[in-house]
């Protein structure tokens, strides 16, 4: 049987602005394919963030709403409350979600908003040029931690999945990674499960995707994947942290 590789109709056919080796392209495809497989494109509303994926509005081929920095969970809340039948997801980076938008994501999870968050953690601010994020690893050099992140000075990185799992409103919380084909397949399955739960009317779901930023990490795409495997997964363990559907 011949296998034909086709792009899903849920992505637009325009050139992407992402850097070589960036994880956003993969994650966009996983999200679009998952929605497509659930036949939910006509009811999908994506909320894009501020950061590199601010341009996601141009790449997802369904209704899209762009939110201010960190506010995507509040915007998603407004959309979902107005259109309970819609499949609403927010797509947010680590600066957006874990720093400026920490309050919004915690409270969306606390309320058990029936929305899904795709949280892209690449341990750095991409769009602004590689500054320290709340998820930057200790010792990691960035534009604002040139000598490496100092835990005494600015604390240790925040583990969002572990934190949000403690909230009653959180229904499905998992962390996946893009460093190997097996992990990417797992990521797709996990994202799809989160959307399935939303379509079933279940509570708040968040999938954290460990991703790369070769440009701001100062690495080649391959080196970046290796760095993710060796350093990020050690601090951010993969797995399902909460699954009320499996309880």
Partner 1 sequence: MAKKLMKGSEAIAEAAIRNGCRFFFGYPITPQTEIPEYFSERMFEEEVHGCFLQAESEIAAINMVYGAASTGVRAMTSSSSPGISLKQEGISSLCAAELPCLIFNIMRGGPGIGSIQAGQGDYFQAVKGGGHGDYNMITFAPSSVQETINCIGQAFPLAEKYRMPVMICADGIIAQMMEPVELPEMQPYEVDPAEKPWAATGWDPKNPVGERANVTSLYVETEQLDVLSARLQGRYAIIRETEPQWEAYNMENAEIVVTAFGTIARIAKSVIDELKDEGINVGMLRPITIWPFPYDAVREAATQPGVKAVLDVEMNAGQMLEDVKLAINGAQNVDFFGHCGSHLPTVDEIREKILSMREE
Binding site for partner 1 (CB under 8 A): 9-10, 41-43, 45, 47-48, 54-55, 57-58, 61-68, 71, 74-83, 86, 103-104, 106-107, 111
CB of 230 to partner 1, least distance (A): 35
CB of 78 to partner 1, least distance (A): 2
The nearer residue to partner 1, 62 or 217, going by C-beta atoms, is 62
CB of 233 to partner 1, least distance (A): 32
The nearer residue to partner 1, 4 or 13, going by C-beta atoms, is 13
How many residues are given for the chain?
A: 247
The nearer residue to partner 1, 61 or 135, going by C-beta atoms, is 61
Q: Round to whole Å and give the CA distance between 33 and 211.
A: 18
Shortest CA distance to 148 belongs to which of 157, 133, 137, 158? 137
CB of 83 to partner 1, least distance (A): 5
38, 222 in Cβ contact below 8 A?
Answer: no
The nearer residue to partner 1, 22 or 45, going by C-beta atoms, is 45
Q: Round to whole Å and give the CA distance between 50 and 66.
A: 8
Helix (H, G, I), strand (E, B) or coil at 37: helix
240, 174 in Cβ contact below 8 A?
Answer: yes
Helix and strand numbers (H, E) in the chain are 11, 7
């Amino acid at each position: 049987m011949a296998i034909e590789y086709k792009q899903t109709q849920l992505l637009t056919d325009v050139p992407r602005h992402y850097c070589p080796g960036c994880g956003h392209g993969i994650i966009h495809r996983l999200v679009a394919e998952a929605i497509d497989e659930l036949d939910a494109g006509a009811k999908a509303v994506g909320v894009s963030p501020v950061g590199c994926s601010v341009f996601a509005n141009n790449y997802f081929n369904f209704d899209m709403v762009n939110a201010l920095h960190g506010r995507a969970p509040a915007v998603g809340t407004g959309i979902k409350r107005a259109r309970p039948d819609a499949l609403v997801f927010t797509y947010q980076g680590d600066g957006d979600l874990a720093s400026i938008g920490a309050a919004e994501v915690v409270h969306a999870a606390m309320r058990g908003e029936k929305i899904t968050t795709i949280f892209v953690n690449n341990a750095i601010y991409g769009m602004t040029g590689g500054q320290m994020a709340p998820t930057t690893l200790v010792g990691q050099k960035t534009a604002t931690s040139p000598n490496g992140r100092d835990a005494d000075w600015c604390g240790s990185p925040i583990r969002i999945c572990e934190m949000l799992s403690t909230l009653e409103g959180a229904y499905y919380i998992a962390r996946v990674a893009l460093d190997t084909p097996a992990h990417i397949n797992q990521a797709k399955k996990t994202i799809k499960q989160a959307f399935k739960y939303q379509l079933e009317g279940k509570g708040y779901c968040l999938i954290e995707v460990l991703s790369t930023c070769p440009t701001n990490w100062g690495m080649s795409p391959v080196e970046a994947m290796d760095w993710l495997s060796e350093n990020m997964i050690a601090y951010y363990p993969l797995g399902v942290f909460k699954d009320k559907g499996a309880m």
